[in-house]
Amino acid sequence: LGDTARVPYGTKSLGTVERYAIENAKFLESRGIKLLVVACNTASALALPAIRAAVKVDVIGVIEPGAAAAVAVAEGQTIGVIATEATVQSSAYSRAIAKLDDSAQVIEQACPLFVSLAEEGWADSPVAETVAAEYLSEFKPAKLGALVLGCTHYPILNSVIQRTLGSEVPLIDSGEATASEVQ
């Protein structure tokens, strides 16, 4: 279910995200689903416990699989996380990474304009290059072992993000990591 009528979630309050996510989960549950994947990082970060309490099917979010994939490839180096403002403020990725590796260094950065760039089809534009350079500048001196793309929209900007950080930084698509877990 793509809730295109009420996106973006990344700028909304906890209460609003929980309400929308529960409504969506109950709608899908009424259609006979056997498993619910909350593919939105913001909904996973803010509303997963509420969703699990509201439905009777198993629920998987994208935070834990994305964190696990990052820890697996970072090999003790700093892990970067880019996400919406709400996901960054929740510290969901930092907590999930710390559960797996309590010595891991994590740098999180909100990148709200990435959503608009992806939706407008400007992923490989000069504007995207400029925005990426600004958002990702604090990651360059950190020598990242991995960068988590902590928003469903961000893999659309994969090329510009990779060019900005360099080919040596592994990019972790939390959606791909979650798909592997579901499989």
Instruction: Please enumerate in sequence order all residues whose Cβ is within 8 A of that of 146, keeping only pairs 6 or more positions apart, or say none.
Output: 69, 70, 71, 73, 74, 77, 79, 80, 169, 170, 171, 172
Give the side-chain half-sphere CA count within 13 A for 161. Answer: 26
Q: Which of 69, 151, 156, 169 is catalytic?
A: 151
Phi, psi of 54, deg, nearest 5: -90, -20
d(C-alpha 125, C-alpha 122), whole Å: 5
Annotated active-site residue 111? The verdict is no
E strand or H helix at 150: strand 144-150
Whether the ω angle into residue 49 lies within 30 degrees of 0, i.e. cis, is no
d(C-alpha 132, C-alpha 96), whole Å: 25
Q: Which of 25, 36, 37, 40 is catalytic?
A: 40
Nearest partner of 14 among 57, 58, 59, 45, judged by Cα: 45
Please identify every residue annotated as catalytic.
40, 151
